[in-house]
Structure 1
Amino acid sequence: MPRQRKKRTVPRDSTGQFIPRRDDSACLQFPSEVDLLAATSDESDSGESDDGGLWNEIWQGWEARRKEEERQRKEKELQKERARLEKLRAASVKSAEHALDGAVGRRGGARDKTGEKRGAYSIGGDSERTAQRKRQKIRREAEAAGLDVSSVEVQRRLDAVQARKPDARVQLSLTQFLRKPAQPAACLVVDDSESDPEVLQSAPHSLEQPEAQRLTVGNTTALEDVDAADEDESNPSEGSEDDVPLAAHVPVSESPEDDDVRAAEEIAEYVEDVLETTVPKSPQELETLAAEGLRKARKAHDYRSEVLFSCLIDFYRMLPRYGRLRTALRISRNHQRGPAFARVLCAQARHFETSEGLKPSRQGQKCKGESTLDNEAVFLGIQTWLRTLKPGEVTPKLLQTHLNTTLLPSLQLSKRQLSLRQARRWLWKLGYRRKRHSKGVYWDGHERKDVKQRRKAYLAELESFEPYMATYEGSDMVEKPPSKLDNGKEHVIIFHDESAFHANDYQTAHWIKDDERVLKKKDKGRLIMVSGFICQRYGNVALTDELLEQNAKLPATERLTHTDSRVTIYPSSRKGGDEYWNMDQMVDQVKERAIPIAHRLFPNAIIHWVFDNSSCHGSLAKDALSANKMNVNPGGKVPDMHDTIIPDDNPHGFAGRPQTMQFPSSLPDDHPFKAHEGKPKGMRQILEERGLLRRGMIGDCEACKQTRSRKEHLTGASADEIRHVDEGDGYDTEEEDNRPADCCMRRALSLQKDFQNEASLLQQVIEDAGDVCHFLPKFHPELNPIEYYWGWCKNYFRERSNGNFQRAKALVAEALDACPLLTIRRFFRRAFRYVSVYRLGATGVAAEYAVRKFKSHRAVQAKDLEEAELERQRKLAKLAKGTLNIVDLRPIWRFV
């Protein structure tokens, strides 16, 4: 029974129309059945009933449209491919002939098939040559065995040999070489427009002819020509076959999609011809060329090339005897290198044989991929988050958690998770380093507005008496008398500070082996507190040996009971321990020790005492004027305050009048404050006597309470110690300026001049002795030379401490006396360098860098600061090279 043919079903939609098939190129619309029936009915009405012809006509039209769309699709693909190849034309190289022709002589070069002389070449790569040699070997073996080269077995072996795709640069140079013959030659061009197919037009070999067909060769185009048979019939060449340009041997490409195939065949044919005529150089010739390269490398002081050329000389000398591999291994062993160097030597030899030069070094040419941190949104997000953390709170784990849970998911990036190791790398790129805790300049408050104003005032105070001070110059810090005197007196500056030592304070770094450990006690041990003074001339402020002898001869009423200004206490909460350092002990040290000893050391001098700006040193006397200690109404448990004089700026005519802070001890019976005799008056009465009380004024407004609470939190001082801060010393200055001066009684009274100019207890004691008191600006320990002195002493103490408290007590005294006077004078010189740098306007890291650079200078000049800034920028630029560009290299040492 014959097999029945299965009917082909056509898919239809809900309306009965055909559903067109889809392919990868286009979607064609098939004619619907309704259209076909309508066309059939029209034909029937007109008297024509040839249904088969109508159907054929419709389907032929559809087929024509399909072929046209297919042709347009292929044309678009071809245009895309040509556009891609045109982009590759941008690559520029010298030549690619050596990759196919082999090495050529240095003198005169070699002649190619066009007869043009070519020079030395410098591009490597012989993978195409290797493939052609293998194919030639297969053909020769087939011919020797009597097999047909076109047989299936031989063709299968030939197809199995695959060459590496030529590099775009080599392909470009090769096709350019093929397109540019040395002399014009005739070639045959086919005119497909209107001429008869058998009529051929003879034209010069030029790429500018529009009627010539183009052939895509690699990444360029070459002339497409007729085959050899047509060429021989229409325009036979008068010369030999070698005189015909290579383009004349290119077969005709009948369709655009065969261009790449024709190009590959053309290149393969050219390579095969070149291989037949190429003669490799002998090892002796290569050795001579390597010796010449060695001479040039030594002249250019190129160590890498010198080593490789010397190895190549030995390589070609030993090559005939041992072969390539054994020779490379022997040379590698002679140079105390391994098999890797032998492989490098073989690769260099292959490159040298084709290009007569060394392979360029690939060191430093690795292409670094982009990091997620390079994304601007990620970088800004991390920076914004890091600003919310305080110094010391940043950790890689915290950064990893924030990125994986918040930042990266919100940005919808491809990278969703970050490892802990990568978080550490990112922190390193952002400038963070894992460091041990160390003391230094507190930069956050160093450039605050009020601190800068106080620093400027302190520098002006020093400048006023610097000409009357002795200087110490040279490496031996020899004393030089002051250039002039102030009414026959010199000025001397003495610095003060306190420091704390702990009995269990050890070194943090040790030289130990891997299996060794240093046992330390858990706590720091007992506290040893030291308060001292130092000066340039004597170091520690204490009587000299000569003065000690004189003091012993004085009567008991004039003899000093204390000969050293230094005070050492051992505060502890245990029974028998000393009290912690306070203002009373500070005043007692100054009055009983420091001032008398300093007047003996400098009998005819004006002494300037410099203290740091701590809240303890700013404490007021018990009877000092303070609005914070006063009540609104009379009475109450408040301290008595000394009398004052109403300031001159009083607008109500009360300037210059004396004013008491307490009521008299006896008042008339009809006096409204008879019950408060001898008691404090209160803020309301004080303001009323000055004419500053207005109707409805309250004692303390809410804004002042919040401001005062905020300042106490920032400074850590108590309400009694916050006098300088409370009087508008820089905190929230803009908010305070916006508030009225008489918003409340406490603010109005605190802004009075006599309350603002109230001196601290320490300043009163020093001024009563006829000396001058100065206070350093906040956050400026670098201006106090005794800070460097404490650091030297603590280093001495830590190297010798063993954790025993009795040993620590003796060791502290030993360390304080062990610091040489020369070292102390250098500490002063370093502090004065900071003063000179700040006067020039420098600050921050630039100032610190300049001070460290010019160690032998007492003062840094403007030119020195400029030199230090340029050197710092060069170092930063070197460190920032090749990393994330976060460092701003603009000058930062000038105030804006």
Structure 2
Amino acid sequence: MADIIAKSAEKGSWLSRRIREWAVDFIKDDENLLIAKYGKMNGSVLEDKDLAQELHLHLQGIGKYVAAQDLVNYMATDEMKRCLNLNKGISLRTAQRWMKQMEYRWTKEPKGMYSDSHEREDIVDYRQNVFLPCWAELSKYTRKFTEDGDEIGSPEAEAAKVAQKERRKTKQQALKEIDEQWDDEELERTFVAAPDRKVIVIWRHDECIFYANDRRKIRWVHADEKVKPYAKGEGASMMVAAFMLEHGRLAHWTFWPGGKRDGYYMTAKILEHATEAMDILDKTQPDERHVFAYDNATTHMARAPDALSARKMVVKPPTSKSKKTNFLCPMNMANGVEYVRMQNRTFADSTSQSLYFPENHPQAGIFKGMRNLIHEQIAKGAVLPNPDKLKAECKGFKCLPRHTDCCCHCVLFTQPNFTNQKSMLKEHCEARGYEVIFFPKFHCELNCIEQGWGFVKRIYHMFPTSSKEEDLERNMNAALDSVPLKSMQK
């Protein structure tokens, strides 16, 4: 038995003999037990919470690039040695153990995730109280499709139901029978028509960029295959912008982005793109009610240069009406920048209120200032706080939540004329009878066109690698054309 114990401890015959001696001594006297000769067992000084906290604060004060040597240097100070009654400091190895006990690890800096503010208060308010109710109302009057991509209520969908119930029939046989029984002109769809008897079609809009060097990186690689370096950078890029729905793509635009190429997809191009889409729909689908759904991007939400905005208004009238001192709006024109007046707002009785003094006023053409504008509103019956007792703006324009009377900027900013100011895109489309809605910020998953881009990118990655721009354009168009219509309808 002693040999087995010694062997399990990876020791030799000496330990085996000692075990037998200890056993004989214990049999002769049961109080003759082995006593550890290693002295008192001391705990780590880091068990002192005050010391551990002090070391943590010291490391935090150094910054993110801390080292075990920082603990060695800190513990070697006269103050720490006197506080802990030490004759000398600690070794580097001890400092490394302490770093682990304080939950530090020598490793690559972890990559954090982008905080997309899904649950930010204003985002949640827009999503729950504006977007979702609007989307639910519009969805009542849109076409619905089955998992196979057939329109619900169509002969194809009904044939699929019959074929599923009667397994001996194929979908084609059932469709033939239904066609014989139903008159296509009298076929009633299962969706409900809107009050104006028009079907609503929601066109999802988005953009996507394709890069020449964007190819699949994971594949089966033979052990003898020679290693080749990746191409540097992303290579040439091409952008596509389109609307997508069950009918397919609409107003498909492609261009080479860049300052010295086709430019960028800014507000002017977005308006031009929307115009092309509306021109097509006016000719091909004039009897349907069309809605354009855009991401909540800055370029989509941009307002007209002279749109109402209280952000940069001054509290008092400027000293002169020059473009440098007067409150004017810069507008980019073909021959340069032109400064124009901000558009008028309305009083409670719907009459117009100019933001500038009239021509018969001593300060004709000069911005009235926020206090005068608020006083005029009060004189017309608006219930607003006295602007003379308000400051111009809260620090950084960061007013307290749900406060509407903390500063002059906030008073004007929360007025209906300012809050209901529409974007250029919305005004442009509504002028032609088209509706525009915006997805909530950071909610790209709500736009089903993203799934279409994913399908396209998967096909695009399978093409052979090439840095040529003509190959990039050809491969991108081939990938776009590969998306089945059934997939869009699902």
Relative to structure 1, the CA distance from residue 690 to residue 570 in structure 2 (aligned partners, 3 Å threshold; closer, same or farther) is same
- What is the CA–CA distance in structure 2 between the aligned matches of 1:689 and 1:479, rounded to whole Å? 57
Q: Can you give the 5+ residue segments of structure 1 that lack an aligned partner in the other structure? A: 1-125, 131-158, 172-215, 219-252, 264-371, 389-397, 542-564, 648-654, 708-731, 827-896
Relative to structure 1, the CA distance from residue 499 to residue 779 in structure 2 (aligned partners, 3 Å threshold; closer, same or farther) is same
Match of 2:299 among 612, 616, 630: 616
Query: Given the alignment of the two structures, is residue 470 of structure 1 paired with residue 143 of structure 2, yes or no?
Result: yes
Query: Given the alignment of the two structures, is residue 484 of structure 1 paired with residue 192 of structure 2, yes or no?
Result: yes
Match of 1:498 among 200, 207, 210: 207
Report the residue type matching 2:207 in the other structure.
Answer: E
Relative to structure 1, the CA distance from residue 682 to residue 817 in structure 2 (aligned partners, 3 Å threshold; closer, same or farther) is farther
Query: Given the alignment of the two structures, is residue 451 of structure 1 paired with residue 128 of structure 2, yes or no?
Result: no
- What is the CA–CA distance in structure 2 between the aligned matches of 1:601 and 1:409, rounded to whole Å? 78
- What is the CA–CA distance in structure 2 between the aligned matches of 1:747 and 1:447, rounded to whole Å? 24
Superposed CA offset, 1:469-525 (max 9, x none): 222223x23221443222222222211112222233333334434563233332222
Name the counterpart of 1:589: 273
Relative to structure 1, the CA distance from residue 814 to residue 737 in structure 2 (aligned partners, 3 Å threshold; closer, same or farther) is same
Q: Report the Cα offset of residue 417 of structure 1.
A: 0.5
Superposed CA offset, 1:112-141 (max 9, x none): xxxxxxxxxxxxxx55999xxxxxxxxxxx
1:624 partner SS: coil
Relative to structure 1, the CA distance from residue 805 to residue 407 in structure 2 (aligned partners, 3 Å threshold; closer, same or farther) is farther
1:741 partner SS: coil
C-alpha contact 2:242 2:249 (8 A) present in aligned 1? yes
Superposed CA offset, 1:546-596 (max 9, x none): xxxxxxxxxxxxxxxxxxx1211212233xx112121011011102x2223
Q: Report the Cα offset of residue 694 of structure 1.
A: 4.7
- What is the CA–CA distance in structure 2 between the aligned matches of 1:809 and 1:659, rounded to whole Å? 53
Query: Given the alignment of the two structures, is residue 821 of structure 1 paired with residue 485 of structure 2, yes or no?
Result: yes
Name the counterpart of 2:362: 672
Superposed CA offset, 1:241-261 (max 9, x none): xxxxxxxxxxxx9xxxx3457
1:540 partner SS: strand
Q: Report the Cα offset of residue 656 of structure 1.
A: 3.1
Report the residue type matching 1:506 in the other structure.
Answer: R
Name the counterpart of 1:803: 467
Q: Can you give the 5+ residue segments of structure 2 that lack an aligned partner in the other structure? A: 6-15, 34-43, 85-89, 154-189, 329-339, 379-383
- What is the CA–CA distance in structure 2 between the aligned matches of 1:376 and 1:610, rounded to whole Å? 61
C-alpha contact 1:793 1:815 (8 A) present in aligned 2? yes
The correspondence of residues 362-761 of structure 1 with structure 2, limited to 5 A, is: 401=66, 405=70, 415-417=94-96, 442-457=114-129, 458-474=131-147, 476-481=148-153, 482-487=190-195, 488-513=197-222, 516-535=226-245, 537-541=246-250, 565-574=251-260, 577-591=261-275, 593-628=276-311, 630-631=313-314, 632-633=316-317, 635-637=321-323, 638=328, 639-647=340-348, 655-664=349-358, 667-668=359-360, 671-674=361-364, 676=365, 681-691=368-378, 694=386, 696=388, 700-701=392-393, 703-704=394-395, 706-707=396-397, 735=400, 737=402, 741=405, 743-744=407-408, 746-761=409-424
Count of aligned residue pairs for this structure pair: 386
C-alpha contact 1:684 1:693 (8 A) present in aligned 2? no
Relative to structure 1, the CA distance from residue 753 to residue 813 in structure 2 (aligned partners, 3 Å threshold; closer, same or farther) is same
- What is the CA–CA distance in structure 1 between the aligned matches of 2:438 and 2:47, rounded to whole Å? 49
C-alpha contact 1:400 1:418 (8 A) present in aligned 2? no
Q: Report the Cα offset of residue 533 of structure 1.
A: 0.9
2:117 partner SS: helix
Name the counterpart of 1:38: none
Kindly report the root-mean-square deviation, in angstroms, between the aligned alpha carbons of the 2 structures: 4.6
- What is the CA–CA distance in structure 2 between the aligned matches of 1:422 and 1:809, rounded to whole Å? 57
Relative to structure 1, the CA distance from residue 455 to residue 406 in structure 2 (aligned partners, 3 Å threshold; closer, same or farther) is farther
More helix by share: 1
2:202 partner SS: strand
Superposed CA offset, 1:822-852 (max 9, x none): 33344xxxxxxxxxxxxxxxxxxxxxxxxxx
Report the residue type matching 1:588 in the other structure.
Answer: E
Report the residue type matching 1:484 in the other structure.
Answer: V
- What is the CA–CA distance in structure 1 between the aligned matches of 2:132 and 2:385, rounded to whole Å? 40
- What is the CA–CA distance in structure 2 between the aligned matches of 1:161 and 1:672, rounded to whole Å? 114
- What is the CA–CA distance in structure 1 between the aligned matches of 2:486 and 2:104, rounded to whole Å? 45
Report the residue type matching 1:455 in the other structure.
Answer: R
C-alpha contact 1:128 1:164 (8 A) present in aligned 2? no
Q: Determine what percentage of the aligned residue pairs are the same residue.
A: 24
Q: Report the Cα offset of residue 817 of structure 1.
A: 1.6
2:231 partner SS: coil
- What is the CA–CA distance in structure 1 between the aligned matches of 2:103 and 2:363, rounded to whole Å? 72
C-alpha contact 2:144 2:191 (8 A) present in aligned 1? no
The correspondence of residues 780-791 of structure 1 with structure 2, limited to 5 A, is: 780-791=443-454
- What is the CA–CA distance in structure 1 between the aligned matches of 2:191 and 2:21, rounded to whole Å? 86
Relative to structure 1, the CA distance from residue 820 to residue 633 in structure 2 (aligned partners, 3 Å threshold; closer, same or farther) is same
Superposed CA offset, 1:864-892 (max 9, x none): xxxxxxxxxxxxxxxxxxxxxxxxxxxxx
TM-score normalised by L of structure 1 = 0.37
TM-score normalised by L of structure 2 = 0.65
Relative to structure 1, the CA distance from residue 698 to residue 784 in structure 2 (aligned partners, 3 Å threshold; closer, same or farther) is same
C-alpha contact 1:533 1:540 (8 A) present in aligned 2? yes
C-alpha contact 1:797 1:811 (8 A) present in aligned 2? yes
Name the counterpart of 2:177: none
C-alpha contact 1:527 1:572 (8 A) present in aligned 2? no
Q: Report the Cα offset of residue 419 of structure 1.
A: 11
Relative to structure 1, the CA distance from residue 129 to residue 523 in structure 2 (aligned partners, 3 Å threshold; closer, same or farther) is closer
Q: Report the Cα offset of residue 613 of structure 1.
A: 1.0
C-alpha contact 1:613 1:778 (8 A) present in aligned 2? yes
Name the counterpart of 2:37: none
Which stretch has the larger CA shift, 628-637 or 455-464?
A: 628-637
Superposed CA offset, 1:365-424 (max 9, x none): xxxxxxx9x99989x98xx99xx9xxxxxxxxx988456646997999995206999999
C-alpha contact 1:128 1:163 (8 A) present in aligned 2? no
Report the residue type matching 1:583 in the other structure.
Answer: T
Relative to structure 1, the CA distance from residue 507 to residue 409 in structure 2 (aligned partners, 3 Å threshold; closer, same or farther) is farther
Q: Report the Cα offset of residue 539 of structure 1.
A: 2.5
Q: Report the Cα offset of residue 807 of structure 1.
A: 1.4
C-alpha contact 2:293 2:438 (8 A) present in aligned 1? yes
Report the residue type matching 1:586 in the other structure.
Answer: I
* Bigger Rg, structure 1 or 2: 1
Relative to structure 1, the CA distance from residue 658 to residue 538 in structure 2 (aligned partners, 3 Å threshold; closer, same or farther) is same
Q: Report the Cα offset of residue 534 of structure 1.
A: 0.6
- What is the CA–CA distance in structure 2 between the aligned matches of 1:446 and 1:217, rounded to whole Å? 72
Considering Cα pairs closer than 8 Å and 6+ residues apart, tell me whether 1 or 2 has the greater RCO: 2
Which stretch has the larger CA shift, 463-472 or 600-609?
A: 600-609
Report the residue type matching 2:341 in the other structure.
Answer: D
1:610 partner SS: strand
Q: Report the Cα offset of residue 527 of structure 1.
A: 2.8
Q: Report the Cα offset of residue 531 of structure 1.
A: 1.4
